[in-house]
């Protein structure tokens, strides 16, 4: 809508004020995922199925974080029991639709989020209008049973919508992502090893290093030479005396360190201390993780015209590694702090950054060429995107998930769960996985969860669900089985949703959702079981 | 009312097979809860429900963790919660401190949090305390049966830890009187990571026993800041730690004052430009100077809920407890690690006493002088007062007590104590009490009468 010039000054002020408030409000999280991450959240559309404690908690965290829009789906009405475990429902809502009530209280937490609600059960929607789910980026399905989840999963995959399953059951919980493929460029591992290429300096770096003299008589200069340069010079010296080879045996490595230390002229030379401490970087440069190697070997890297940008970039990366890279990945360009004169450090930094840029240009050329070969617009991937990819190339991740139908069909599950048994120790988290399947089968047969009725039925139900669990364990060939105590505890839970457990499970679900939507950090690769009794979690790759 | 607690009553009303047994510290602690749990029957529900409703619990902090903890504890049945926080609400809190709204900015966190919880959850009493934890009397803390910590600093945790540990009473054989244990549950978060731990002082490690868990703060050498800066953070810290004091002498830097922060940023930028360093931004300046810890709702929700669940278990024994430290990381998948740390048997804060061996002839005055010179107590003592099994041996204050106990200074410590034992040392500098286990050497055998 056009505004008259007289009003635009005010509009601009308002817009500026709103922007400042927004950055202020999200400051603590912008420092984690940046503006681009926040932007991805604000564009996302999330559907929550079932507004119990677990679902409400998951949504609360996403709304506080500024997710674009959410739709809460629930076919139930607010009961007394909701007031005992759900902060987003209040006494005034008793008897009213749960989705509508929760949505209203949720809206108070962040008026930037668009919140909608559907007062219908997820199962009825799946039945009558599966196309409903197509509009979402992500569906978070809470407190749903296996049978409906399998149907939902099929629908979500059909429409390329991400699915996140989260359930809390008494003192246990369960989280599982389901989608075909999720590629992460910015996985942001906790520990990054800097790539100094001490073992393979490129020509410009070697030239730069020549300017420095470790024998200089200027003591001030001597103690401000950056450690990377010290190591590069000592490498050159070593190579000249060892036929071009670098230290390889333990003895040689120890000699190399002594050689470095011998260059010290005075006791207070911190740069030489740093050099000795960093010497191992010469013979142990950062290696490629198995995940990244697998990505290069992945069939999807044989691109065709329907390939995603991510795989096109991987294909270009492969070409780079095979040619200009000489086996190396594009240089990251970042260097750690080094005790040094500012000037030396900045110049060294620029040397690394220049090499990183030239690697990006080489990869870029491959990207454009591949796109052309595939009949696609060669400029469809920006240099900025290519640079971003190169900088993170050592930490790429690709996750693929089996369909729920396949997993819950339980065919190979037994053998896979079996592998975890030796590591479980006192934990019975594999048995909890089995109990979730068992209670759902019980519910199919008896129309309720075990122990959901009066206290007197707990023992009876325990016998019945125990038999189901035992049978399941037999079917899938799981030796461990389920202990009597655990079966009993599951009946004791009565299928109830405890607030604290819902908050943990919902909390984890919201975190996984954020990772999926921002495409930063690495989502959980398997099925997560949360055991609130022992306060442990296990992730099963099934 | 009962229908409201349907789901959690499945836990509290019904006997369980994986409930707390070997983990609890002893029959005296939470004895009411234990006896109640052993009784199975419909009368149990009322007893345990009432027990929780009246159980006195303190939440320290009403921020990212505190808000979540208040909600979690209230929705677990705790009906009598106190909360203390010295801060007021800021816009940057709103991405996670869900009890606060834009119109609450500037108001005390403890007060608004208490109001909101009581509005939404009927029947719970939340008593706010707007102030510093240090300004509360030690007797204030003694009243509570459990303390839950939602803090963001080492110092604050250390302080509360000292207070809780000072309630411990050991006999001369170093045996703990279990009823003096003040249980604590401590949570902490940073970005996608966090931890939850249960501290039963004297039994599990206290906070001080495991200080090594906390990584040291990043500091830069002075010469780097002053002469050879290389990173944007170096430039910022120079302005923060050196240039401010020079250019704005006498003015104390207030990070919440926009003019102060803007000056800091602009000066840091100038300095960076001088050295050809790029990367100084207003956001980075704030981050470095205020030591900002990134924070999100989800991690706070997860850690607080784990802590609150442990509080429920400690109070009711309704399930096995966390033994005793759980770390959480959500950056690469979800990774948790639960470990049972052991306490440091000579911990200065929670152990029966730091061992000190003295000559049998030493006087109380000489003993006090020795304490002041002991490297282990460096910076912890200035004018120590000494007591033994409830009797004041020497009190530095008030003047009346000082005068009364002054003659003891010339007496031999051995004659004052009778035999080896544990002395309680108090000092203005100490948050709690320092227990010193005194052993005597060169003790002459008593002569036959």
Structure confidence by residue, pLDDT tens digits, B89-105: 999 999 999 999 999 99
Question: Does residue B349 form part of some domain?
Answer: no
Distances (CA, A) of B50 to B6, B32, B36, B56, B76: 15, 12, 11, 12, 12
- ipTM of the complex, rounded to two decimals: 0.95
Identify the CATH number of the domain in which residue B170 sits. Answer: 3.40.50.720
Which pLDDT score is estimated for B23? 35
For residues B178 and B266, state if they share a domain.
no
Give the closest-approach CA distance of B121 to chain A in angstroms. 7
Active site residue B30: no
Residue B367 near residue B413 (C-beta atoms within 8 A): yes
Give the closest-approach CA distance of B261 to chain A in angstroms. 14
Question: Does residue B449 form part of some domain?
Answer: no
Q: Average pLDDT over chain A, rounded to whole?
A: 93
Identify the CATH number of the domain in which residue B418 sits. Answer: 3.10.290.20
Q: How far is CA A252 from the centre of its chain?
A: 41
Q: How would you classify residue A46: left for phi > 0, otherwise alpha for psi between -120 and 50, otherwise beta?
A: beta
Q: Which two tokens stand for residue A476?
A: 């899938």
Describe the crossing of helices A342-373 and A203-210 by its angle, rounded to 10 degrees.
Answer: 170
From the list A25, A61, A522, the residue facing B297 with the nearest CB is A61
Q: Which of A60, A67, A507 to mutate to test the interface with B (most CBs of B within 10 A)?
A: A507
Domains of chain A, start order? 2-181+500-540 (3.40.50.720), 203-283 (no CATH), 290-399 (no CATH), 404-495 (no CATH)
Is residue B19's pLDDT more than 80?
Answer: no
Of A282, A304, A439, A431, the C-alpha closest to A373 is A304
For residues B317 and B249, state if they share a domain.
no
For residues B42 and B141, state if they share a domain.
yes
Question: Does residue B121 form part of some domain?
Answer: yes
Give the closest-approach CA distance of B240 to chain A in angstroms. 19
DSSP state letter for A287 = P
For residues B189 and B60, state if they share a domain.
yes
Which residue stretches of A44-84 are H helix? 53-64, 80-83
Tell me whether residues B310 and A175 touch, CB distance under 8 A. no
| Interchain CB contact of A210 with B (< 8 Å) | no
What are the pLDDT digits (tens) for A461-493?
999 999 999 998 888 877 767 888 889 889 988
Q: How far is CA A98 from the centre of its chain?
A: 31
| The one catalytic residue among B223, B235, B318, B347 | B223
Q: Which residue from B minimizes the CA distance to A490?
A: B16
For A192, residues 6+ apart whose C-beta sits below 8 A from its C-beta are A395
For residues B65 and B164, state if they share a domain.
yes
Residue B183 near residue B314 (C-beta atoms within 8 A): yes
Reduced to 3 states, what is the DSSP secondary structure of residue A172?
Answer: strand
Which pLDDT score is estimated for B20? 60
Q: Average pLDDT over chain B, rounded to whole?
A: 88
Which pLDDT score is estimated for A183? 98
Q: Which residue from A minimizes the CA distance to B229?
A: A342
For residues B24 and B168, state if they share a domain.
yes
| Interchain CB contact of A21 with B (< 8 Å) | yes
Q: Which residue from A minimizes the CA distance to B123?
A: A84
Mean pLDDT of A162-168: 98
Question: Does residue B344 form part of some domain?
Answer: no
For residues B416 and B314, state if they share a domain.
no
Tell me whether residues A500 and B75 touch, CB distance under 8 A. yes
Q: How far is CA B436 from the centre of its chain?
A: 22
Question: Does residue B149 form part of some domain?
Answer: yes
For residues B127 and B230, state if they share a domain.
no
Which pLDDT score is estimated for A426? 62
Q: Which of B48, B230, B299, B339 to mutate to test the interface with A (most CBs of A within 10 A)?
A: B230
Interface of A with B in 95-124 (CB under 8 A): 108-110
Count of the separate structural domains present in chain B: 3
What are the pLDDT digits (tens) for A25-77?
999 999 999 999 999 999 999 999 999 999 999 999 999 999 999 999 999 99
Q: Which range marks the domain in which residue B276 is found?
A: 222-290
For residues B228 and B90, state if they share a domain.
no
Q: Which residue from A minimizes the CA distance to B100?
A: A109
Instruction: Give the number of other Cβ atoms within 10 Å of residue B314's Cβ.
Output: 27
Distance (Å, whole) CA A540 – CA B27 = 39
For residues B229 and B165, state if they share a domain.
no
For residues B273 and B401, state if they share a domain.
no
What are the pLDDT digits (tens) for A374-419?
999 999 999 999 999 999 999 999 999 999 999 887 767 877 887 8
Tell me whether residues B3 and A81 touch, CB distance under 8 A. yes
Question: Does residue B188 form part of some domain?
Answer: yes
Identify the CATH number of the domain in which residue B239 sits. Answer: 1.10.10.520
Q: Which two tokens stand for residue B36?
A: 């109640």
Which pLDDT score is estimated for B11? 74
What are the pLDDT digits (tens) for B351-370?
888 889 999 899 999 999 99
For residues B322 and B367, state if they share a domain.
no
């Amino acid at each position: 809508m056009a505004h008259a010039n007289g009003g635009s000054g005010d509009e601009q002020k308002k817009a500026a004020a709103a922007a400042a408030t927004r950055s202020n409000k999200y400051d603590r999280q912008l420092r984690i995922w940046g503006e681009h991450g926040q932007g991805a959240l604000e564009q996302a559309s999330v559907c929550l199925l079932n507004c119990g404690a677990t679902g409400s908690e998951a949504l609360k965290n996403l709304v506080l974080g500024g997710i674009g829009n959410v739709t809460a789906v629930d076919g139930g009405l607010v009961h007394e029991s909701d007031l005992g475990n759900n902060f987003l429902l209040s006494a005034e809502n008793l008897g009213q639709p749960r989705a509508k009530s929760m949505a209203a209280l949720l809206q108070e937490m962040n008026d930037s989020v668009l919140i909608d609600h559907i007062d219908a059960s997820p199962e009825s929607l799946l039945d009558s209008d599966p196309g409903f789910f197509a509009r979402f980026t992500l569906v978070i399905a809470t407190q749903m049973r296996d049978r409906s989840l399998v149907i939902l999963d099929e629908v979500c995959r059909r429409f390329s919508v991400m699915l996140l399953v989260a359930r809390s059951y008494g003192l246990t919980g369960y989280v599982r992502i389901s989608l075909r493929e999720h590629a992460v460029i910015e996985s942001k591992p906790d520990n990054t090893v800097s790539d100094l290429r001490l073992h393979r300096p490129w020509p410009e770096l070697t030239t730069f290093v020549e300017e420095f003299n470790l024998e200089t008589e200027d003591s001030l200069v001597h103690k401000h030479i950056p450690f990377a340069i010290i190591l590069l010079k000592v490498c050159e010296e070593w190579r000249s005396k060892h036929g071009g080879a670098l230290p390889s045996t333990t003895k040689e490595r120890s000699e190399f360190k002594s050689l470095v230390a011998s260059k010290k002229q005075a006791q207070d030379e911190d740069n030489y201390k740093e050099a000795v401490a960093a010497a191992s970087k010469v013979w142990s440069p950062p290696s490629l993780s198995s995940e990244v190697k697998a990505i290069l070997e992945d069939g999807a890297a044989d691109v065709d015209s329907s390939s995603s940008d991510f795989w096109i970039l991987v294909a270009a990366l492969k070409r780079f590694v095979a040619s200009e890279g000489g086996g190396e990945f594009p240089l990251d360009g970042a260097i750690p702090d080094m005790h040094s004169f500012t000037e030396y450090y900045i110049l060294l930094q620029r040397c690394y950054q220049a090499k990183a840029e030239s690697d990006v240009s080489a990869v870029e050329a491959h990207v454009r060429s591949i796109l052309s070969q595939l009949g696609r617009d060669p400029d469809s991937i920006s240099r900025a995107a290519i640079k971003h990819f190169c900088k993170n190339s050592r930490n790429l991740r690709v996750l693929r998930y089996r369909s729920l139908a396949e997993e819950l069909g339980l065919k190979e599950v037994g053998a896979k769960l079996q592998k975890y048994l030796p590591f479980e120790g006192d934990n019975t988290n594999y048995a909890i996985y089995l109990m979730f399947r068992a209670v759902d089968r019980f519910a199919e047969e008896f129309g309720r969860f075990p122990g959901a009725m009066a206290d007197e039925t707990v023992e009876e139900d325990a016998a019945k669900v125990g038999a189901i669990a035992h049978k399941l364990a037999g079917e899938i060939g799981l030796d461990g089985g389920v202990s009597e105590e655990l079966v009993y505890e599951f009946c004791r839970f009565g299928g109830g949703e405890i607030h604290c457990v819902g908050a943990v499970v919902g909390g984890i679900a919201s975190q996984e959702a954020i990772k999926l939507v921002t495409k930063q950090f690495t989502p959980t690769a398997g099925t997560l079981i949360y055991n609130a009794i022992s306060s442990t979690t296990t992730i099963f790759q099934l | 009312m009962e229908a409201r607690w349907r789901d959690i009553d499945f836990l509290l009303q019904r006997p369980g097979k994986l409930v707390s047994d070997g983990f609890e510290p002893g029959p005296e602690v939470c004895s009411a809860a234990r006896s109640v749990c052993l009784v199975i029957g419909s009368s149990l529900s009322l007893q345990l429900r009432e027990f929780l409703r009246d159980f006195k619990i303190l939440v320290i902090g009403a921020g990212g963790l505190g808000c979540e903890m208040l909600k979690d504890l209230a929705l677990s049945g705790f009906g009598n919660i106190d909360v203390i926080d010295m801060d007021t609400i800021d816009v940057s809190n709103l991405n996670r401190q869900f009890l606060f709204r834009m119109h609450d900015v500037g108001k005390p966190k403890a007060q608004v949090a208490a109001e909101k919880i009581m509005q939404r959850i009927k029947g719970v009493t939340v008593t706010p305390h707007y102030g510093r934890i240090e300004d509360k009397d030690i007797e204030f803390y003694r009243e509570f049966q459990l303390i839950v910590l939602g803090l963001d600093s080492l110092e604050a945790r250390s302080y509360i830890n000292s207070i809780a540990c000072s309630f411990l009473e050991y006999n001369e054989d170093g045996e703990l009187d279990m009823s003096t244990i003040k249980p604590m549950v401590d949570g902490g978060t940073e970005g996608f990571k966090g931890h939850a731990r249960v501290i039963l002082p004297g039994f599990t490690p206290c906070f001080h026993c495991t200080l090594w868990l906390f990584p040291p703060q990043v500091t830069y050498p002075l010469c780097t800041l002053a002469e050879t800066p290389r990173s944007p953070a170096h430039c910022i810290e120079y302005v923060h730690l050196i240039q401010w004091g020079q250019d704005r002498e006498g003015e104390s830097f207030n990070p919440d004052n926009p003019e102060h922060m803007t000056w800091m940023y602009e000066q840091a930028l100038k300095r960076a430009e001088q050295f050809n360093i790029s990367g100084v931004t207003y956001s980075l300046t704030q981050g470095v100077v205020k030591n900002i810890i990134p924070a999100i709702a989800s991690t706070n929700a997860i850690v607080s809920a784990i802590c609150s669940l442990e509080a429920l278990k400690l109070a009711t024994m309704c399930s096995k407890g966390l033994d005793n430290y759980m770390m959480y990381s959500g950056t690469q998948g979800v990774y948790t690690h639960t470990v049972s740390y052991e306490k440091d048997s000579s911990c200065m804060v929670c152990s029966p006493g730091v061992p000190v061996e003295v000559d049998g002839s030493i006087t109380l005055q000489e003993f006090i002088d020795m304490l002041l010179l002991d490297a282990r107590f460096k910076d912890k003592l200035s004018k120590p007062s000494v007591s033994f099994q409830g009797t004041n041996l020497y009190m530095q204050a008030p003047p009346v007590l000082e005068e009364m106990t002054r003659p003891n200074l010339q007496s031999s410590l051995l004659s004052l104590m009778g035999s080896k034992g544990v002395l309680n040392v108090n000092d203005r500098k100490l948050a709690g009490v320092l227990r010193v286990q005194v052993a005597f050497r060169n003790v002459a055998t008593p002569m036959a009468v």
